Structure 1
Amino acid sequence: MVNGAGLAMATMDIIQYKGGSPANFLDVGGGANETQVQKAFELLNSDDKVQCILVNIFGGIMRCDVIATGIINAAQEIGIKKPLVIRPQGTNVEAARKLIEGCGFRMILAEDLEDAAEKAVGLAAIVKQAEAIKVGLQFEGLGL
């Protein structure tokens, strides 16, 4: 059985395995509300070390669609400026995928944790390269 700490470690480990380096980490427990999710995104969005945000949703206690709604609302409220990769897994995963796909923001869905890590590390590398050569970068739907 994997608990929250085990899932967190697995997420950070696979990011490193795929060549990335976790800049920040946040574990939002089952009792999280929309305000807390928004605050988390504000922190991640403002951290210069964060080049891509990977959201690894494990909807056991919290339903995936509820978490997806919180992410979408936070993105609309604060204006996410970083590429966002979301890996939903668990209760109401298909409803969450539909919400994310239809939200109007470019949020990249991943099939599993390995796919999510590959996408997040790849996007972070693109952002880092663009910053190094001082080239503006725009991700569709993110308003960059």
Structure 2
Amino acid sequence: MQLAEGQQGAPKGLSLVHVNEHPSPHAPNRPAPYVAFDRTELSLILAVYGRKVAKGEWRDYAMDFLRERAVFSAFARNSERPLYSIEKQPKLRNRQGQYLVINQQGRILKRGHDLRLVLNVLEPHFAVVT
């Protein structure tokens, strides 16, 4: 370690600089990778959320970006459990599909590869039968 010129010892509160030390590529200070929704996915989700808020069904939301999944949770009020959770799990991309909608009880309502189709479970289109 080297001290700045003219200093006998490091003053309190000043850290010393290590010379010729390069951070290793496996440095622990790198942020851990996480899964997130991209712009198009988020715009589809927020469009559904906006329509539900306009109807008065939903009032709040939360987003969690974790290592293996991203979660958008919709709440009817500030409660402990969300009404619905929309998840993106990229590890399931080649299997059942990376998008899924989960209800308050934890049941998977819809799973698939296309987010637009998966979100249709939240907005059923009823037909008039005569």
Higher relative contact order (CA 8 A, sep 6+): 1
Which bracket does the TM-score occupy, shorter chain normalised? 0.3 to 0.5
TM-score, scaled relative to structure 2? 0.34
Q: Which structure is larger by alpha-carbon Rg, 1 or 2? A: 2
